[in-house]
Structure 1
Amino acid sequence: MRIRNPDRVKINGFEYHQLPGADGVTLNVAVGGSGTPVVLLHGFPQTHLMWRHVATKLATEHTVICPDLRGYGASDKPADGYAKRTMAADIVAIAQALGHSTFAVAGHDRGALVAFRVALDHPEVVTHLLSLDVLPTLDMWDVLHGTTAAVGFHLFLMAQPPGLAETLIAGAPDTFFGHFLDIWTKDPTAIPADIRTAYLDASRAAIPSIVADYRASATIDVTHDTEDLAAGNKLRMPVTVIQQDWGSALGFDAAALWGAWAPDLVHQTTTAGHFLAEERPEEVVTALKDLLNRQLA
């Protein structure tokens, strides 16, 4: 299904394209700058606009590619096909359509899970990986237990069979999606009114596909990650992870969990909220530039 949301807000100075992803979908992609390519993948409940500050700063030195993930924003919203392996294939396809055989990738939240899968499945394509405020899928499910799992209630809700979550969320979509925009930021000014409206409008129009994305993370994504773990597959490129100190809060060692996947790892914690790229864009840009200067150890 194709749903085109009006782009009332865009990243300044970027050109917009409709590019082919995998299995017939079309992605909305903002592209700006010149130089070695960096792909930026957004999280929930956002669109490519979450990168607006980081993207314009990076574009002075790099070609910056900011897609709406399939199922989000102004990209196609098929009924299924939300395995991160498929969403990763979308990213490789749009990069190739723009003429790039290799690229660095940064992802936040859901986008970080897609970036993780791009890097695992296509190590010959991804030169560097930055992950913002997420754990790999298997580790995420493992650390959510007891009363502390309440922080991830939406993960369990959207893991249910088709119908329930979609119906409940559709009853009060702005309340549901707005809840995360409110509680996950430590700086409310980081998401101004026009951006918040854009996020809510896009999410309201994408409830079935957003739920399908999350449901995949409780089903097929677990299968794929389990198979990679058993096969000993690792991230073969330099990796930087920045996240809130969830390990201290929930009782796990985040750096060790990431280290099991990424032999060449720089792990940092931040005092910012979840929406780091909007709250602390300079912190993200600095980390990205440092990462891009690293050679594989």
Structure 2
Amino acid sequence: MNFEHLRVPVADGVELHTAVAGSGSPIVLLHGFPQTHLMWRHVAADLAADHTVICPDLRGYGASDKPGEDGPDTYAKRTMGADIVELARRLGHDRFALAGHDRGALVAIRAALDHPAAITHLASLDVLPTLDMWEVMHGTSAAVGFHLYLMAQPPGLPERMIAATSDEFFGHFLDLWTNDPAAIPADVRAAYLDACRGAVPSIVADYRASAGIDVEHDRADRAAGRVLPMPVTVLQQDWGSMLGFDAAELWRAWAPDLRHVPVRCGHFMAEEAPDLVVKEIRELLTR
């Protein structure tokens, strides 16, 4: 399947690099950290057989624009989610299914909460909603998320520390979070590291927003009783048992129409277990 690569304006001064292929009902696939849209290469090719598949690099990542962090809204998931809704609209789709992994899943969740009329189905790969993520992190078990705390610090120090050892920092997560190193071959790994090397400030800004304004938005939604009204599928490693929480229970508070699927592969499941991801997305789209 040949993908067409486009640059699509979504906000003032922000264009998203986007790969598009196929025809049929649209689905947007959002990548995670420390990756680009390339992480969907197997899943996207399969889904494009009968869907219009749209794979952008998120703002601040890959070949998409990287605006400077001029305030807490620049990399708020609310802003990044609005990018995706506008991207789909500019490509001719007022309603679409949405799947996200890791950071892309957080953007997808926020887009679905803020724009429920636009999102028909939601798939989330290996995250909790932002507020729950912070609430379950405690004690020595929180060491697994040291990068969350590092990048939550005020501008300056985390950017300098990470830039000084960029390949080692981002490569650490590519190594630690995969059960099958062959799933990310050398050329793909090199592409990820190269993309991250040029995006340290914006990646840190994305994470910093998740320790600040994104939590505020989630708290406001929880207080207002807002939920995800569309069918939701969550694929997740069983790290809830390691950290002492029930992931399905936490998710059910946000998603009444929930299918929660524990997986045995590593974090990069779209690359390690693409057949499973395709199967679950296809089943989601029939609900």
What displacement does 1:79 show?
1.0
Is 1:99 the counterpart of 2:92? The answer is yes
Partner Cα distance (1:65, 1:261) in 2 = 25
Question: 1:5 — aligned with what?
Answer: none
RMSD in angstroms over aligned alpha carbons? Answer: 0.6
Aligned partner (choices 76, 79, 90) of residue 83 of structure 2: 90
The match for 1:245 among 238, 244, 251 is 238
How many correspondences in the alignment?
Answer: 283
Alpha-carbon distance in 2 for matches of 1:68, 1:129:
18
Alignment counterpart, residue 40 of structure 1, candidates 26, 29, 46: 29
Query: 1:82 corresponds to which letter in structure 2?
Result: Y
Letter in 2 for 1:271: R
Corresponding residue number in structure 2 for 1:9: none
Indicate whether 1:121 and 2:114 are aligned: yes
How far is 1:231 from its partner? 0.5
Q: Give 1:19's aligned amino acid.
A: V
Q: 3-state DSSP class of the match of 1:21? A: strand
Give the aligned residue type for 1:72. Y
Aligned partners of 1:239 and 1:262 also within 8 Å = yes
> Counterpart in 1 of 2:253?
260
Q: Does the 8 Å contact 1:236/1:262 carry over to 2?
A: yes
Letter paired with 1:254: A
Q: Determine whether 1:177 maps to 2:166.
A: no
1:148 partnered with 2:148: no
Listed as ranges, the matches of 1:213-228 within 5 Å are 213-228=206-221
Percent identical pairs in the alignment equals 71
- Which ranges of structure 2 fall in alignment gaps of 5 or more residues? none
Instruction: Give the one of 142, 151, 155 matched to 1:158.
Output: 151
Indicate yes or no: 2:267 matched with 1:274: yes
Partner letter of residue 53 of structure 1? H
Which of residues 26, 46, 52 in structure 2 aligns to 1:57? 46
Provide, for residues 260-281 of structure 1, a one-character-per-residue CA deviation record: whole Å limited to 9, x for no partner.
Answer: 0000000010000000000000
Q: Equivalent residue for 2:198?
A: 205
Counterparts of 1:23 and 1:156 in 2: how far apart (Å)?
30
Aligned to 1:8: none
Runs of at least 4 residues of structure 1 off by over 4 A?
none
Match of 2:17 in 1: 28
Contact 1:187-1:279 at 8 Å conserved across structures: yes
**Letter of the 2:198 counterpart:** A
Q: 2:55 pairs with 66, 79, 90, which one?
A: 66
In structure 2, how many angstroms separate the alpha carbons of the residues matched to 1:79 and 1:55? 30
Contact 1:132 1:242 in 2 (8 A): yes
- Provide the residue aligned with 1:188 in structure 2: 181
Q: Deviation at 1:124?
A: 0.2
Measured after TM superposition, the shift of residue 223 of structure 1 is: 0.6
Letter in 1 for 2:225: G
Instruction: Output the amino acid matched with 1:197.
Output: A
* TM-score in terms of structure 2 length: 0.98
Any idea what SS the aligned residue of 1:233 has?
coil
The separation in 2 between residues aligned to 1:188 and 1:225, in whole angstroms, is: 35
Note if contact 1:22-1:86 (Cα within 8 Å) is conserved in structure 2. Answer: no
Residue aligned with 1:60, SS: coil
Residue by residue over 1:173-209, the C-alpha shift from the partner in whole angstroms, topping out at 9 and shown as x without a partner, is 0000000000000000000011000000000000000
Shift, 1:24, TM fit: 2.9
Any conservation in 2 of the 1:15–1:32 contact (CA below 8 Å)? Answer: yes
Q: Aligned partner of 1:77: which letter?
A: K
